[in-house]
Amino acid sequence: MALDKAALVEFIYQLVAKAQGKKQLKAMDLQKAVLKEHPDQNKNDVKFAIKDLIDTGRCVYTYFGGSFVELPHEEGAAKKV
Amino acid sequence: MSDTPLIDQLETGPWPSFVKDLKRVAARKPAAKDLLRQLDRSYKDKITHWKHGGIVGVLGYGSGIIGRYSDLPDEFPGVEHFHTVRVNQPSGWFYTTQALRDLCAIWDEHGSSILNVHGSTGDLIFLGTTTDQLEPCFAKLTAKGWDLGGSGSAMRTPSCCLGMARCEYSCYDTMDLCYQVTQEFQFDMHRPSFPYKFKVKCSGCPNDCVASVARADLSVIGVWKDDIRIDHAAVAAYQAGEIKPRGGGSPYDKLDVKADVTDLCPTACMSFDGKTLKIDNKNCNHCMHCISLMPQALRIGTETGATLLLGSHAPILEGAQMSWVIVPFMPMESPYDELKELTANIHEWWSENGKNRERVGELMLRLGMRAFFKGVGLEPPAQTVRTPRANPFFFWHAEDFEAEAAGRKYIKL
């Protein structure tokens, strides 16, 4: 069954949180993971749920040879303070 | 003694030097001074001293900011952070002087003052700022009506030649298409969700002034379907030396129409007997050689649109690949719904099937044109055949048998 907006956002957040430090997930990985569990979920809902996570700052886009969705973390390349 | 002895040598040549420019900026910006010092150090050490950042950006966007850090921050504190900001350029790179002054003022206040106008992506590039200056810089840009361009695994900022604004060859309004594609794919430009980058470049004619055939995942190149228009009196004037070839842009004063034009036609579809120029338009491949040499005598046809090609990219290891024709002719009229829908279908197919960092052209080669056409819902036209087939085997699918049984015809009359 398709998730409502708030539940979908939380579902995606948990996917990102569980993968943090182990696997970097692209937006499409998240979409595929959602559709695997909830095949009737609209793909656009997934896009906007990711947007919600980014706009609220709970997740960030990162670039490490490809663009990923991750939890905010320290920039490894920056000078350690 | 100068603290940049190696790069100082670059000022001694006959050409304008970026070192001289940077030294001028360094008089008021410490970042530029350390940029020069770090570059000199790299020349000495023979390695780069830049590190790629992966996190920095502005809230809500996953594109447009490229993180850069020095790996020698204590030695060169001015470039400890040296992030790049990509600003979405206007179509055709037309600016008012006021707009340029606004951009320079913003960058003087929030960055190093160093600009790259323009980067190979097409964007106007602000080079070098610190993390804390990104949000205020972005706020000032948006207040003046500017936006960030694409970066990362996203739709990159579409770019175009200046098209109908200044060029009589343009087969469609490249600037309008570029603007409309930019607006249509805003979400995909600012929120990276593709396997890798996706570039769209729009050229008004086959002269392809933005080199879209070599640089864009989706190349939109203007073309015409009907005959080249000939002004026979002007052809005679070219032959007589009354009109200079290439609009005066050639070193030669006089054109030998047979030797310089018809004999160099790649498909040998032209002939000139000293008086009359003939063109077998069915065999013309629209190379533009003749039209570019004799612009007053030959003009593009009147039934115009664009050819769509897919897949060019230049990976370092495997070598460059040119774009491949996928749609031989598509009318290009606002609001360009057909093109937008096809582009969205390509994104969908690529996102479903592409591996991480696999460009759409690489996927097309990996899975084959047949899978591509089926995936995006296009009919395979004959113009997509690039080389004669070398594989004697043909793999039939169940649906082919069904289509055969239903009377599928391969030659459409």
Sorted by where each begins, the domain ranges of chain B are 5-143, 159-225+303-405, 229-299
Task: Give the domain ranges of chain A.
Answer: 5-70
- State the average pLDDT over residues B247-265: 92
Question: Using CB atoms, which residue from A27, A61, A74 is nearest to B57?
Answer: A61
- Residue B118: cis peptide before it, omega within 30 degrees of 0: yes
| CA angle, residues B321, B325, B328, in degrees to nearest 5 | 160
Options 3.40.50.2020, 3.40.605.10, 3.30.413.10, 3.30.70.1450; CATH for B159-225+303-405 is 3.30.413.10
Question: Using CB atoms, which residue from A27, A65, A73 is nearest to B193?
Answer: A27
Give the dihedral sign, CA B9/B15/B21/B27. Answer: positive
Beta bridge partners of B324: B310
| Confidence label for B88 from pLDDT (cuts 50, 70 and 90) | very high
* A26/B59 touch (CB, cutoff 8 Å), yes or no: no
The larger pLDDT score, comparing residue A78 to residue B103, is at B103
As to burial, measured by CB atoms within 10 angstroms (0-12 exposed, 13-18 middle, 19+ buried), residue B396 is exposed
Question: Using CB atoms, which residue from B81, B152, B193 is nearest to A28?
Answer: B193
Q: Which residues of B touch A45 (CB under 8 A)?
A: none
CATH number of B229-299: 3.30.70.20
| Confidence label for B411 from pLDDT (cuts 50, 70 and 90) | low
Domains B5-143 and B229-299 in one fold: yes
Give the amino acid at A40: D
Query: What are the structure tokens assigned to B369, written together?
Result: 């044109």
Residue A6 has pLDDT above 70, yes or no: yes
Looking at residue B78, what DSSP letter applies? G
The larger pLDDT score, comparing residue B397 to residue B335, is at B335
Residue B112 has pLDDT above 90, yes or no: yes
Residues 279-308 of B with CB under 8 A from A: none
- Chain B contact for A76 (CB, 8 A cutoff): yes
Q: Which residues of B touch A47 (CB under 8 A)?
A: 187, 191, 193
From the CA of A45, how many Å to the nearest CA of chain B?
A: 13
**Complex ipTM:** 0.92
Residues B130-143 have pLDDT tens digits of 999 999 999 999 99
Question: Rounded to an integer, what distance in angstroms lies between the CA atom of residue B270 and that of residue B97?
Answer: 46
Question: Rounded to an integer, what distance in angstroms lies between the CA atom of residue B172 and that of residue B375?
Answer: 28
Residue B228 has pLDDT above 90, yes or no: yes
- Chain B contact for A62 (CB, 8 A cutoff): yes
* A28/B55 touch (CB, cutoff 8 Å), yes or no: no
From the CA of A57, how many Å to the nearest CA of chain B?
A: 7
Spatial contact of B138 and B59, defined as CB atoms under 8 Å apart: no
The reported pLDDT for the residue numbered B391 is: 80
Residues B272-320 have pLDDT tens digits of 999 999 999 999 999 999 999 999 999 999 999 999 999 999 888 778 9
Radius of gyration of chain B (CA): 25
Question: Rounded to an integer, what distance in angstroms lies between the CA atom of residue B217 and that of residue B309?
Answer: 8
* B67/A61 touch (CB, cutoff 8 Å), yes or no: no
The reported pLDDT for the residue numbered B187 is: 95
Give the distance, in angstroms, between the CA of residue B301 and the centroid of all CA atoms in the same chain.
25
- State the average pLDDT over residues A44-58: 95
Residues B381-395 have pLDDT tens digits of 888 887 777 888 878
**Mean pLDDT across chain B, nearest whole number?**
94
Closest by CA to B310, choosing from B252, B259, B383, is B383
- Chain A contact for B248 (CB, 8 A cutoff): no
Q: Give the CATH architecture of domain A5-70.
A: Orthogonal Bundle (1.10)
Residues B149-192 have pLDDT tens digits of 999 999 999 999 999 999 999 999 999 999 999 999 999 999 99
Query: What are the structure tokens assigned to A62, written together?
Result: 């990162």
Query: What are the structure tokens assigned to B57, written together?
Result: 């950006």
Residue B413 has pLDDT above 60, yes or no: no
From the CA of B367, how many Å to the nearest CA of chain A?
A: 19
Helix (H, G, I), strand (E, B) or coil at B214: helix
- State the average pLDDT over residues B7-34: 93
- Chain B contact for A60 (CB, 8 A cutoff): yes
* B56/A75 touch (CB, cutoff 8 Å), yes or no: yes
Task: Say which CATH class B5-143 falls into.
Answer: alpha beta
* B53/A75 touch (CB, cutoff 8 Å), yes or no: yes
Question: Rounded to an integer, what distance in angstroms lies between the CA atom of residue B284 and that of residue B301?
Answer: 12
The reported pLDDT for the residue numbered B412 is: 62
Terminal Cα-to-Cα distance of chain B (whole angstroms): 80
| Confidence label for A57 from pLDDT (cuts 50, 70 and 90) | very high
- Chain B contact for A44 (CB, 8 A cutoff): no
Query: What are the structure tokens assigned to B275, written together?
Result: 């008086």
Residue A80 has pLDDT above 70, yes or no: no
Residue B338 has pLDDT above 80, yes or no: yes
From the CA of B61, how many Å to the nearest CA of chain A?
A: 8
From the CA of B315, how many Å to the nearest CA of chain A?
A: 13
Query: What are the structure tokens assigned to B190, written together?
Result: 């600012």
Give the dihedral sign, CA B76/B78/B83/B88. Answer: negative
Closest by CA to B252, choosing from B234, B272, B238, is B238
* B80/A76 touch (CB, cutoff 8 Å), yes or no: no
Residue A81 has pLDDT above 70, yes or no: no
